[in-house]
């Protein structure tokens, strides 16, 4: 079973209230006014990478495990 099939199988077993929580959480990442998957130019990609590197050098980082844990706690996942 692939990832998509496994995910769909899990979602099919959840009660409606849990599905609504998941839907609300996912909407945080996809505002209706923007498309997060719009293509970027090579110049835009390099500019974003440069900003990321600069933030890393300045210590403006967040631990991914802590963020994941916080999200799970906040949304009861």
pLDDT band at 19; cut points 50, 70, 90? very high
SS3 49: helix
| CB 74 within 8 Å of CB 66 | no
* Region of residue 61 (left: phi > 0; alpha: psi -120 to 50; beta: else): beta
- Enter the pTM of the model: 0.40
DSSP 12-75: HHS-HHHHHHHHHHHHTTS-TT--TT----HHHHHHHHHHHHHHHHTT----HHHHHHHHHHHH
Tell me the per-residue pLDDT of 30-54, one tens digit each, with 9 for 90 and over. Answer: 777 666 677 889 999 999 999 999 9
């Amino acid at each position: 079973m692939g990832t998509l099939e496994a995910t769909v199988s899990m979602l099919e077993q959840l009660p409606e209230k849990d599905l609504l929580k998941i839907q609300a959480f996912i909407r945080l990442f996809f505002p209706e006014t923007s498309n997060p998957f719009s293509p970027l130019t090579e110049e835009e990609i390099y500019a974003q990478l440069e900003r990321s590197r600069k933030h890393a050098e300045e210590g403006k980082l967040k631990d991914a495990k802590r963020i994941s844990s916080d999200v799970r706690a906040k949304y009861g996942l």
